[in-house]
Amino acid sequence: MATVNHALGFYVVNDAMFDASPLPTLVALQQSPEFEATLKQIGRSPLRLDDGSLVIRRKFGPVQVNMVTRAQGHCDGADLTGPTLLAPDHPTPNLRALPLVSPATVAELDLLPDLETLRKNLKGKWRNRLRHAQSHQVRITRQNMPTDSKHWLLQAEQAQQASHKYRHWPALLTSAYAKANTGDAKLFTAHYGTDIVAGLLILRHGATATYHIGHTSTAGRILSAQTLLLWSAIAWAKSKDVMRLDLGVIDTETSPGLARFKLGTGAQARKLGGTWLSHRALAPILGLGRIDRRMMM
């Protein structure tokens, strides 16, 4: 079992201590080279700053807007032309920008422990649902995600976005990720008899993987198929030396069931850095955001 101490700069494997430098850098999907390749696949031209931050540039009429999402660096937008939306991966107290949206919370599962330990770390109800799916002989298959934007899982996700009024990646962008990063978009499918009852798409990027899309039918919910799918994805990620599984944003108020499902894996909740607006013209009024700034921290 490996233990990481980033603050002290070492990691331990079976009681042996090593310098932490061999550990890969763990970056969010939106900052990864794989996401950069995906944007280029669809004809976008993202920008890499000196600190490594990936910037997406979009035009709204004559105005170019920069977007920097989940960056680890200290980009404050000062070197970028035009308004910049900043969404840091962690709280950033000294950010010279105007706060817009308070921080979201993500669930992250540390995959450094061995699989047996990960199973012991499952919450009791989650483990029971896993046994329930296994006892009903739900069968799991795994394959590279087809690059067809009309794939049933992508269509189901688009329908779900429309009915629940939320926004996620369009199907064409997900397909582009599969095209640009062969083997890193993994589709897990749950079968019961001859029927497909659930699907899960995981995107791998370096030593990190991200829970991207999950869909379950009524029969799949009864069979706890999504639980078995996610456990299968965890085991696969472990086998590929993935160190962290990003389960995405959780909201205990609007989607408490989904939040419990993600945290039931033993994942930890972590606050991001909120959303900020940076522009040179805003410099004189930045002081007005002090109260909101405290809330962002």
- 121-160: pLDDT as tens digits: 999 999 999 999 999 999 999 999 999 999 999 999 999 8
For residue 155, what are its two tokens?
């269509």
Query: Where in the chain are the domains?
Result: 31-103+272-296, 106-270
Question: Is the model's pLDDT at 15 over the cut of 70?
Answer: no
Which helix or strand (DSSP H or E) is residue 36 part of? helix 33-41
- Alpha carbon separation from 17 to 3, 67, 160, 242 (Å, rounded): 9, 40, 47, 20
The residue assigned the tokens 């899982």 is: 153
Q: For the chain, give the mean pLDDT.
A: 88
Over residues 219-232, mean pLDDT: 98
CA distance 2 to 191: 34
pLDDT category at 274 given cuts 50, 70, 90 is: very high
First to last CA, the chain: 33
pLDDT category at 180 given cuts 50, 70, 90 is: very high
Range among 43-57, 70-84, 150-164, 260-274 rated most confident:
260-274
CATH level 3 topology of 106-270: Aminopeptidase (3.40.630)
Q: Which residue has the higher pLDDT, 235 or 253?
A: 235
Question: Is the model's pLDDT at 203 over the cut of 80?
Answer: yes
DSSP helix/strand/coil, 130 = helix
Question: Is the model's pLDDT at 289 over the cut of 80?
Answer: no
Residues contacting residue 232 through CB under 8 Å, at least 6 positions apart: 140, 142, 188
Q: Which residue has the higher pLDDT, 141 or 290?
A: 141
Residue 133 per-residue DSSP state = H
Query: What is the structure's pLDDT at 170?
Result: 94
Over residues 265-291, mean pLDDT: 79
Contact 67, 58 (CB under 8 A): yes
From 135, 146, 171, 134, select the one nearest 156 (Cα to Cα).
171
Query: What is the structure's pLDDT at 285?
Result: 60
Burial classification of residue 223, based on how many CB atoms lie within 10 Å of its CB (0-12 exposed, 13-18 middle, 19 or more buried): buried
84-87 and 63-69 beta bridge pairing: parallel
Question: Is the model's pLDDT at 2 over the cut of 90?
Answer: no
What angle separates helix 171-180 from helix 152-164, to the nearest 10 degrees? 140
Percent share of the chain, pLDDT over 90: 71
Query: What is the structure's pLDDT at 75?
Result: 76
Question: Is the model's pLDDT at 64 over the cut of 60?
Answer: yes
Question: Is the model's pLDDT at 22 over the cut of 90?
Answer: no
Question: Is the model's pLDDT at 33 over the cut of 80?
Answer: yes
Over residues 38-50, mean pLDDT: 94
